[in-house]
Amino acid sequence: MDWKREWKPLAVMAGVFSLFFYLPIESERVRTAVLEALHLTKWYAQEHVLLCLIPAFFIAGAIAVFVSQAAVMEYLGARANKVLSYGVASVSGTILAVCSCTVLPLFAGIYRMGAGLGPATAFLYAGPAINVLAIILTARVLGLELGIARAIGAILFSIIIGLLMHLIFLREETERVAAQMAMPEPEVSRPLWQNALYFAAMVAILVFANWGKPDAETGFWYQTYSAKWIITSAIAILFGLLLVAWYGLNKWKVLVTGGVTAILAAIFPHEPLLPFSAAVVGLSLITSQDKGEAGDWFAQTWGFTKQILPLLFAGVLVAGLLLGRPGHEGLIPSHWISDWVGGNSLGSVFFASVVGAFMYFATLTEVPILQGLIGNGMGKGPALALLLAGPALSLPNMLVIRSVMGTKKTVVFVALVVVMATISGLIYGSLF
């Protein structure tokens, strides 16, 4: 037997055996942590998979099929105009109010289609970090100065991180772009404005289906929240018409899917996930049976789903085991975190950056969590560091990024976020 080749499987089996052999299941903290991991994973499945990830997977699949490589290279490629490419990537969060996991399929789609590493990672950071609603909520709850610092820091972060990633891996990126430029340009079957409207409809469905409830029950934001499903339904009808008129889907199948969705919405008006799920299943069945572009669209969507979804669930499970849900404890006691982020020292700011990078934050949840930590003595520097590192990264996020662009680039990206969040926190803490 070749032990040089077999030692890795043996080590894995021995490690798993030792883990279960010595598992302190009698410990109350271990039992609580296991329940917290399951609670967090259940919450993630209920709140994020159907409304956030599934639309994002379809958008990513559409990018791979309906967006030409030349178009991606022109606007986001390594040779594109830097002001344009980084400008587009850095303000993406103003349109996409998504969390660090929902942005992953979109990032994978544009990166595989030829986007430069710099603009792609700028988009990866900016998508969840530059969230207008989150920044407004930060300013209202945690103070105007922290809200402004978060907005400025997030925009600058995305650009600087993107530029540094481009420079660090310049040689590798140059070779990648050269290989892509040698590929033949695919034929364009429809004008740009039709594809733009098609993508805008999908993005609008993603945004309005996840529109969060504001604190005040008056004003524009609350009215929009109250009508979110009416708006989403109207956009979905438009989207169905586009699929029939421009993308060749069978009109009777689309009509049946729309009819079933409408009936479920009428029967269960307070259970919007049911008609939404019916629409997703119907669209999946229609596109999966198509032999043309729509079939390719579903195949790409399913490919992203198989690659990303298992890693996300594994990451959420581990994050829940270690840190628990907001307001609950995992294996790591919450008072450790509160004790270690007091003041504005280098250690406390760096610790806040690292914890923020590994902890999972759903969109907007970082604000109440941070409010509680500040109430327990958290310094302003660590607070900003956590705001800049937390929403853009998480353990599930890191696992998926590694599968898309490799271990080395992922480690560098995470390190850049942590280091820059630490530096920003130290500067902010010393000024305020």
CA distance 226 to 141: 22
In a domain, 261, yes or no: no
| Contact (Cβ atoms closer than 8 angstroms) between residue 365 and residue 43 | no
* Pairwise CA distance, residues 123 & 354, whole Å: 21
Angle at alpha carbon of residue 12, lines to 7 and 16, rounded to 5°: 145
**How far, in Å, CA of 422 to CA of 310, rounded?**
31
C-alpha distances out from residue 371 to 142, 152, 323, 366, Å: 7, 20, 17, 8
How sure is the predictor about 268, in pLDDT bands with cuts at 50, 70 and 90?
very high
pLDDT of residue 230: 93
Q: Does a structural domain hold residue 265?
A: no
Q: What is the pLDDT of residue 67?
A: 75
Residue 381 corresponds to which tokens in the numbers above? 């520097």
Rounded to the nearest 10°, the torsion over CA 130, 133, 136, 142 is: -90
The boundaries of the domain holding residue 345 are: 30-249+290-431
Question: Is 9 inside a domain boundary?
Answer: no
pLDDT value at position 259?
94
Give the residue carrying structure tokens 């996409």. Answer: 96
Pick the more confident residue, 279 or 396.
Answer: 279
pLDDT digits (tens, 9 = 90+) for 243-257: 999 988 999 999 999
Residue 39 forms part of a structural domain: yes
**CA 356-82-394 angle, 5° bins:** 15
**Does a structural domain hold residue 84?**
yes
Asked if residues 129 and 160 have their Cβ atoms less than 8 Å apart, the reply is no
Residue 5 domain-assigned? no
Using an 8 Å Cβ cutoff, are 372 and 343 in contact? no
In a domain, 209, yes or no: yes
Q: Of the spans 79-83, 285-289, 359-363, 380-384, which averages the highest pLDDT?
A: 285-289
pLDDT per position as a tens digit, 313-360: 887 788 788 777 767 778 877 777 767 877 788 888 998 899 888 887
Burial 201-240 (b: 16+ CB within 10 A, else e): bbbbbbbbbbbeebeeeeeebeeebeebbebbbebbebbb
Q: Domain for residue 17, yes or no?
A: no
Q: Work out how many domains the chain is built from and give that number.
A: 1
Residues 142 and 386: beta-carbon distance below 8 Å = no
pTM flag (> 0.85): no
